[in-house]
A and B are shown apart, each in its own frame.
Chain A
Amino acid sequence: MKEEILCAGYGGQGIMVMGRVLAYAAMNSGYHVTWMPSYGAEVRGGTAHSMVRVHSNSIASPAVRYPTSCIVMNKPSLLKFSKRVKSHGLLLIDSSKISDGEIKQAVVGLNNICVKKAPFTEIAMSLGEKKVANMVTVGAFNKVKKLFSIKELIKAVSFILRDKDELITINEKAILHGYNMEI
């Protein structure tokens, strides 16, 4: 296992938590793992990203410049990171506010990568909470990549939200919905 994941979107979309859920699930599944946030200077109003490495062996640098899996939750992130996805890697896109034409343009010329998209924010709104778009995405991501068991993902999110009981149910529901959806 050598998975290098980059999650990107606006500040406030839960990009950091997304990475942390994956990191916790990785740790509890017995892998070496690092999580690192993007540096603060670019957060306000711009894109934020978190980087997760999941390896069978010890990890050198925690930074991920060229991801094997890239999750983009908005258009600026799509434009910034799509060209960096490694060959045979995955590009997963929240297409809620991005047109098909824009996506096509962003991935033109990218060979050997798997592009998947779904309107994760819209799906989250249909579940009654726009903010859980990140968890729907995590669920869908794991369905495509099959890195961890769904049980570990649920365990991870309930651990991270252990001080916010009222949020656990909706976040678990979101992960399950993402995991069971067609993508």
Chain B
Amino acid sequence: MTKAKKILITGNEACGEGAVKAGCRFYAGYPITPQNELTAYMSRRMLEENGVFIQSESELAAVSMIFGASLAGARVMTTSSSPGISLKQEGISYLAGCQLPAVIVNIMRGGPGLGNIAPSQADYFQSTKGGGHGDYYMVVLAPHNAQEMFDFTYEAFDIADKYRNPVMILSDGALGQMMEPAFVDRKDKAKGRKQKNWILNGCKARKPRVIRSLYLKDGELEARNKDLQKKFDKMRKDEVKFERYKTNDAKLIMVAYGTSARIARSCCDELRKKGKAAGLFRPISLWPFPYKQLESLDKGKTKFLVIEMSAGQMVEDVNLAIQDRKRVYFHGRMGGGIPDEKDIINLANRILK
């Protein structure tokens, strides 16, 4: 049962409000379906909050603009959908290289290429394994409802500042466009926010600071990379998030995130009604992936069923966690297809036989 004070809001708008409440006052973006409501929402809210909204001339321009504003100390965000996020990869690599905080939201749609405008999860590799060039990672959070679209975006700005690194919210067209009840009222972090101590804001009365990603001297770049890796190791230790649902006695554990996780959870309930011990493991941080937490659920005979709206991307991480690949199964839909509950339940029944 839902409680009072919740409002009905699209995932896109909940994400935008999460950013506003986190103190984001600089947004640059370029329109693309299915995330247009988010850009439209920010155009209105930035005006109301005396922030900056820019509809840029291109995706590369948008990510470059938030790069500049982040240098100057603002809390910044850009959002797009799959083809647009591909165009932003150069900027994301530079943000990581220059150690600049930023929040990037991907409301995934069908690909490759221009694909279509239906929901998809086929950008998992791009988000968690690099995307841009060079040795970098970023925390990737995967919400599965409107409430988490708000909450995770709200938290993402703190994570970005903590590590001085970009953070990605990885969602999909269904979560972005659907409306659901959610609480979107939390403390506005813009109020009383302290100035960051590394920003470029004019060096009168202090030594100039330099922020760059170009290191040409012998050994300099490798040393820089070692520093970055220390940071990524700390994220691997401290930023793992996941949710378990009925996994304690489960003989079959589904592994899914985002929209697929909603469907998987419903399938678990249906299977339980028929006396089948099914559970769900939902990675929330896709990077760092909860390898150990998933592995700890493996009782030797446990079967794992990975469900994705892709040809099978996260399943590779599940295979790293569960060494016995014969017990890892996969069901996926591609190109905008949404997994069907009947198909999953049939497959689960076959696996459990």
Q: Report which A residues bind B (CB closer than 8 A).
A: 20, 23-24, 27, 30-37, 39-41, 57-63
Given A24-B8, A62-B174, residue A39 in contact with residue B181 (CB < 8 A) = no
Q: Which of A24, A30, A36, A40 contacts B117 (CB 8 A)?
A: A40
Please name all residues of chain B whose beta carbon is closer than 8 Å to the beta carbon of A41 when the two chains form the complex. 33, 116-117
Within 8 A of A (CB), among B219-273: 259, 262-263, 265-267, 269
Given A30-B2, A34-B180, residue A20 in contact with residue B174 (CB < 8 A) = no
List 10 interface pairs A-B (beta carbons < 8 Å), by A numbering.
Answer: A20-B8, A23-B179, A24-B8, A32-B181, A33-B180, A33-B181, A36-B174, A36-B179, A39-B34, A60-B262
Q: Which of A33, A35, A59, A61 neighbours the largest number of chain B CB atoms within 10 Å of its CB?
A: A61
Q: Report which B residues bind A (CB closer than 8 A).
A: 1-2, 6, 8, 33-34, 116-118, 173-174, 177-181, 259, 262-263, 265-267, 269, 338, 341
Q: Which of B6, B118, B173, B263 contacts A60 (CB 8 A)?
A: B263
The answer on a CB contact under 8 Å between B262 and A27 is no
The answer on a CB contact under 8 Å between A37 and B8 is no
Q: Which of A32, A34, A40 contacts B179 (CB 8 A)?
A: A34
Please name all residues of chain A whose beta carbon is closer than 8 Å to the beta carbon of B34 when the two chains form the complex. 39-40
The answer on a CB contact under 8 Å between B266 and A60 is yes
Minimal beta-carbon separation of B347 from chain A (angstroms): 16
Minimal beta-carbon separation of A14 from chain B (angstroms): 16
The answer on a CB contact under 8 Å between A35 and B178 is yes
Q: Which of A23, A33, A37, A57 contacts B177 (CB 8 A)?
A: A37
Expressed in whole angstroms, the Cα–Cα distance for A34 and B265 within the complex equals 16
Please name all residues of chain A whose beta carbon is closer than 8 Å to the beta carbon of B179 when the two chains form the complex. 20, 23, 34-36
Expressed in whole angstroms, the Cα–Cα distance for A40 and B12 within the complex equals 15
The answer on a CB contact under 8 Å between A40 and B341 is no
Minimal beta-carbon separation of B39 from chain A (angstroms): 14
Q: Which of B6, B34, B180 neighbours the largest number of chain A CB atoms within 10 Å of its CB?
A: B180
Please name all residues of chain B whose beta carbon is closer than 8 Å to the beta carbon of A33 when the two chains form the complex. 2, 8, 180-181
